A and B are shown apart, each in its own frame.
Chain A
């Protein structure tokens, strides 16, 4: 479904991504993990069209999206969420969902809720339709942000730290929501630091460090990978472990 080949991105002398290869299969639940500054969000940005990569290519459903804008990529079915500011703060929950519904794509293989009520129910925001988004609790705002993305009927949903800052109960509600999405046919790529969350949700994990892929495997496998341990703890500490 998504093929990323030798993708690099530099900001001046800083090489944020260095020849990243990535394959995402239809229906997969893939985790993208790595220490802070490892290039996870940069990879999201480069693939989703937020900015153009310096070199390399990205193909989505057979179409080259390397230099495609975020607007076009979204219309194509690849939708991403943001770590911060993922809602329209001054609008109500219903208005937040109404906007993407106007741009909803019809697809023969995926049919996510097509009305505000269905999306509100999926996101667990019942009773909050007329609430202004900026006054929602943090957890509800995160779920609303994901619901905004779902309203577009995406084929591939890229989530940037969806569980960050959520308490245990909110994280569980998010997990249930994402599992339901996966059952409905949406492919998920998730950036996350919460390993129990990743282990419960994803079948496969890719670990990035300093802009390169250093490990691939199941979440349990990559946690035991010496390169991953070294990346997270540093050389001397990893040796001590």
Chain B
């Protein structure tokens, strides 16, 4: 096997990875001004919230290689923490957000504990069982199931910095700001010392252990940090939809989150946003029968695994690099005569 030696490169500027996020988010601020109907603004808001929740899976999966179904539980914990804090203590948006993130962090860590004894597919199966168990328990607990088992209503809009985010467009901008902050945080995390340790687990766990990395606890930390993102998504979800039901945080939603991360691409920071657009927005856009959405997900997932295993953004990145390499290589007719002579 030959070495693929690249030309020496200068160390990339620290701010460079942040640029695509800022540019894309800046472009998305224009979206409500391109004549979108109310329905599409609404779908965009929900799509952004899905992207936030997907960041909760993206962090442990893309960084530390840990897949979990329980991210949907952390999302639910965030949503219900918000709803219950409003109902019982009448907390405002910021304390609610912080409380939800903290509660989801704890939930994420607790749901990650089986990793002390299992790994890989077995761990995913256990998180699946745990997520279902939590859903069933919460559905039978009157505090979380709400009056008559119909869920809990959130009667107030987000009040923040003197603004009331009651309208769809204002919520769109608030959620876009939240997704931007999350994406920038994820960029920072990837380049941080912690992110490098996560990467060592993803790349070669045994080698990581041999160089002194406490892989088990770091995996739990990665899953708990994912919980923070999912918890924050839960807060926005509860406020925006005004009513939450435990059945909205079940296995179907978990499958959608997994699809979002896989479709978007696990190495691309904006993957959750692109994935949410494909997995959530697209079926709504083409008004796909909800019963057929899951079939559609299965087909898309199968096609992705075969044709785009690195996701849409990963595929685009590979195609771009291939094109650049091809452009750099001299054509046979352009090759210097001397090297032709040397080769013969």
Contact = CB atoms under 8 A, between A and B. Distances in A.
Nearest to A151: B211
Interface in B1-38: 1-6, 8-9
A148 B203 CA distance: 14
B3 A80 contact: no
Nearest to B217: A71
B187 interface: no
Given A88-B200, A88-B204, A130-B9, A99 B211 contact: yes
A235 interface: no
Interface in A28-75: 48, 50, 69-72, 74-75
A129 B9 CA distance: 9
A136 to B, nearest CB: 6
Interface in B211-269: 211-215
B189 to A, nearest CB: 15
In this complex, the interface size class of chain B, counting residues with CB under 8 Å from chain A, is: 20 to 34
B211 A103 contact: yes
Interface in A82-137: 82, 85-91, 95, 98-100, 102-103, 127-132, 135-137
Contacts, number: 92
A152 interface: yes
B199 interface: yes
B285 interface: no
B207 interface: yes
Contact of B207 (A87, A132, A140): A87
B210 interface: yes
Contacts of B196: 95, 98-99, 102
Contact of A71 (B9, B204, B215): B215
B325 to A, nearest CB: 13
A232 to B, nearest CB: 29
Contacts of A128: 3, 5
Nearest to A135: B4
Given A90-B203, A98-B196, A99-B197, A132 B4 contact: yes
Q: How large is the interface on A (under 10, 10 to 19, 20 to 34, 35 or more residues)?
A: 35 or more
B212 A85 contact: no
A149 interface: yes
Contacts of A132: 4
B6 A130 contact: yes
B119 interface: no
B203 A152 contact: no
Given A128-B3, A128-B5, A129-B8, A70 B207 contact: no
A113 B212 CA distance: 18
A60 to B, nearest CB: 14
A148 B200 CA distance: 12
A36 B67 CA distance: 37
B193 interface: yes
Given A88-B199, A99-B197, A131 B212 contact: no
A138 interface: yes
Nearest to A48: B210
A4 interface: no
B87 interface: no
Interface of A: 48, 50, 69-72, 74-75, 79-82, 85-91, 95, 98-100, 102-103, 127-132, 135-138, 140, 145, 148-149, 151-152
Interface of B: 1-6, 8-9, 193, 196-197, 199-200, 202-204, 206-215
8 contacts: A48-B210, A70-B209, A71-B212, A75-B212, A82-B206, A99-B199, A131-B3, A145-B207
